[in-house]
Structure 1
Amino acid sequence: MPITNASPENILRYLHAAGTGTKEAMKSATSPRGILEWFVNFFTCGGVRRSNERCFREVIGKLTTSLLYVNKDAFFDGNKIFLEDVNGCTICLSCGAASENTDPMVIIEVNKNGKTVTDNVDSERFLECMSNVKADE
């Protein structure tokens, strides 16, 4: 379930951020909320558009480096994955607690200039994406 819907307003924001619009639209698309929406789309198979390719490659490179230091067991035991300076934001990935009926969720926190936004992703999808990232090393 992608968090970003293809509303005309969101499409315009990203078109403006591509260099065809106002500073306000660019600021909105590179805000912590915009980065969080993009990141959640990455893990929920929302797709990577050509306009996001640079950010995608940057994040994959940083994830690949992070995965050298944090393995699956360590991550589920409480270690966090930090990605610094993704469009000026810091991204923290951590594992939430599992309940009796559900698998743990991966918590994604995006912080920029003291403003933090969070969302959750299913841990199975997260692990599938991470194994694909490691396979591409």
Structure 2
Amino acid sequence: MTLQITVPAAPTDADREAVLAPLRAFNISQAGDPRIRPVAVLLKDDNGVTVGGLWGRIGYDWLFVELLAVPEEARGGGHGRALMAEAERIAREVGCVGIWLDTYEFQARGFYEKLGFTLFGTIGDYPVGHSRFFLQKRF
């Protein structure tokens, strides 16, 4: 088989899937089906409009929190803590061993540490002048 390297000007979802397919197959052959499923815990206003919340996915018995957002005017009201508590409840209910996430230096590391998360990795200068932190909470 002859292979060539190309760099598309505008990568597509199909390009991503083409890269992901052999990786997914290999991972499944080594570690089994990750049983990936999305998790959403939403914040809605009085009109039923989603204004924030938590978005993540469960895979290989861990919940990864990809996004957590509380509208600025509602911060400090316990909504972030409530979102994380519901996510933890869901993770425990389906048998996860823990939750992991990442946050930037200018975001919420202290918030997560107050919830029992511990640091397991850091990337300096991401973005330049700041750090990105990776945290986990094992059950």
- Do the two structures share a fold, i.e. TM-score over 0.5? no
Shorter-chain TM-score tier: under 0.3
Which has a greater percent of strand?
2
Structure with the larger RCO, 1 or 2 (CA within 8 Å, 6+ apart): 1
TM-score by length of 1: 0.24
Which has a greater percent of helix?
1
